[in-house]
Structure 1
Amino acid sequence: MEMERQNKKMQVWNMLAEKIRKLVEESVSNPEELQEIRIRTGQPLLIQMKGQERVLPDPVHPYLVTKEDIGETMGYICHYSLYAYENELKQGFITVEGGHRVGVAGKVIIENEKVKNIQYISSLNVRISHEVLGCADALIPYITENKQICHTLIISPPCCGKTTLIRDLIRQISDGNEYIKGCSVGVVDERSELGGCYLGIAQNHLGTRTDILDCCPKAEGMIMLIRSMAPRVIAVDEIGTSEDIHAIEYAMQCGCRLIASVHSLDMDEASKKPILGDLIRRRMFQRYVVLGQDHGPGKIREIYDERGRVLCRN
């Protein structure tokens, strides 16, 4: 495990321009706490650690990122071939070895009313992939019945660790434990955050019975998995569109159990969302897990059943 941590650290360090790399190395004593590195041309270098933003090297004497820093970093990320990453760039991000994701902003090139590419890149957001094996241990007993998973919706504000939590849920459902018999799990990983696939290989631990559709739209991917891989459980992160909701309903009707997440402050706000609110009122999900930052990222604030009764509150 320690070797894996060191490898992931070096994967991040090695993609950064030399000046930025030195500043990050000098400022971050524990890479496990690093969440984001924000690199914007002409602006201070920012990092996110444990939910707190920091200016490097310090707020009084910030390092201002240059266009050369952006170019050097993109060169390392794309191995000096932007063309080879055109398909990923048009989605606004690139997934690199280790499952880390680099968000990209700049001049968008449109062709036939669709995004073709991004040029003149001016901003990068390096999001560090973290695995916390066992972080779903406390949740599993609440979302299983008779050795099967319940339809579960995870409700969370941004940066509360929901993706890390879902990742460990997938692993435990796939491998099985005392609460659930191991079963096939289909993952639609639209933004390469759950599996963190690099050249088609998952960089994160998602279990022995897990199949991943990487960089695939959620709604289309759920239907593809049902037709091709016959999963017992389907997992998706950050649902939102009407197509996503309709695909979830279809998957449930096909007998698949669902693990999904949505950005929302609490149960009340989630219930007011168009279409999703209708699923909640119809009690399609059996469990609702609300995360919060009061006790740290990924910590459970409340768990409700399909009738809105509180099963757990921290």
Structure 2
Amino acid sequence: MNRSTQLFQKEIWAKHYSSNHQILLVGEGDFSFALSLADSFRSGFNIVASSIDSHDDVIQKYKSAETNLNRLGNLGARLLFGVDACTMEFHRDLYLRKFDRIVFNFPHAGFLGKESDDGVILRHGYLVFSFFKNASWMLRPNGEVHVSHKTKFPFDRWNIVELASQSCLTLLECVEFKLEDYPGYNNKRGAGLRPDEPFPLGKCCTFKFISSSTATMLTALYDGIHQELQAILLQGANTSLFTDPARAIKSTKCFRIVVEYFDHARLTYGKNDCYLSSSVTDHLRFKFQRYMAEDHRRQSIDFVKLLEELQSFSKRTIEFLQKRFWELDLRGGL
């Protein structure tokens, strides 16, 4: 598949990741996670997969690595070696690049003692903190940094969320990590005497972080929506426009799913959006695919309910603005 063909390919989701995302994968081991995504997308053009090891070391460490790398190359993925998560923003092939998703699965500083030792936890923490610091500068607007990590003792002592906050990243959500969501992915120890062997996963999660500035904007936007709705409801008590009050957006799930829809409306307000019809459709289609991909047990009717919630909010906002303009017109304000 060439790049021009890939540009017109239908968007495909693999759990949290879209074939339209610009994705950077860090600490890739045998590159099987990258291959899992590329196979799902049927393309690797938007994937940059990296390892701290050299190409020769990767081949030597992992018996499946050469096959994985060849397949990724055929799918169009960019493969980088010698990429240190602690300094990656300055790497010659990553400098000034921005990504929609930056992913580090099960970061580990090496087997240097018992995992519960304070010194070992400190080394792990430094690795993760440095990764966050670099990744925070490499995000696109609305981009996310993902770290999959064990959550039981002693790994909970790494304080992943606190380390992210020190790099101006805010937790968006934490979801259970399931190996079966990524067919073909083989987690590897990566260091020590048995680098090609898997390690027991146990209970683990994918932590999703966004830029703190984005989080602040979303919080303000969310608060603004509810303040607006409060005003609508108060004003609606004495007017026929609001005799049948529509539901407000009360669920954080609805807002999280369609947040880019609100962002688009805000950014294009007062401007001439030549592609308004298609862009709105694209945003809602994107939200549907994300919603269904997050949990395969979901039904399309559940998303329809979220759209009904969104429609109710939109309708009441329009009615509120119409009433305000009408009042201003009567007072000669327009």
Same-fold status (TM-score > 0.5): no
Higher helix residue share: 2
Bigger Rg, which one = 2
TM-score (ref. length: structure 2): 0.32
